[in-house]
Amino acid sequence: MCLGGRVSEAAASAAEKTAALLKAMWERNLPVLRERVGGLSAAAEAAVAGGLSEELRVEAAGVAHKLAGSLGMFGYPEGTAIARELEVALGEVEASGTRLVELVRTLRDALPL
């Protein structure tokens, strides 16, 4: 076998190993992810009810930011895009509850939670 063949075999093996580890990590992190999405859902519902406090809004924006930065690396780029929209929406002092609920629902639909 030529050197190029061994290199590409090694790269394929590293890719397979990384993919398997990522899958295992995703499954291990599911409880945290569910909790985070649940927190966003609670913030959205509070906004609909007119009771989204400044503290909860900022905290939820931080959660959306974390999700935006991590979902794509697990293979869910759509999740990252929706989380970014949530972060922007939650960055507004008068966040629209209806919009937040819609985005959280879309986020749930995009993820195998």
Of 40 and 46, the one with the shorter C-beta distance to another protein is 40
| Nearby residues of 76 by Cβ (< 8 Å), 6 or more positions away | 110, 111
Of 85 and 97, the one with the shorter C-beta distance to another protein is 85
Q: What CA–CA distance (Å, rounded) separates 79 from 60?
A: 16
Decide if residue 58 touches another protein (CB under 8 A): no
Q: 86-100: b or e for each residue (b if 16 or more CB lie within 10 Å)? A: bbebbeeeebebebb
Of 80 and 90, the one with the shorter C-beta distance to another protein is 80
Decide if residue 108 touches another protein (CB under 8 A): no
Region 19-48 residues binding another protein, contact defined as CB under 8 A: 19, 21-22, 25, 29, 32
Least CB distance to another protein at residue 33 (A)? 9
Angle ∠(79,56,74) on CA atoms, nearest 5: 20
| Nearby residues of 30 by Cβ (< 8 Å), 6 or more positions away | 113
Binding mask 65-104 for another protein (x = CB under 8 A): xx-xxxxxxx--x--x---x--------------------
Of 18 and 98, the one with the shorter C-beta distance to another protein is 18
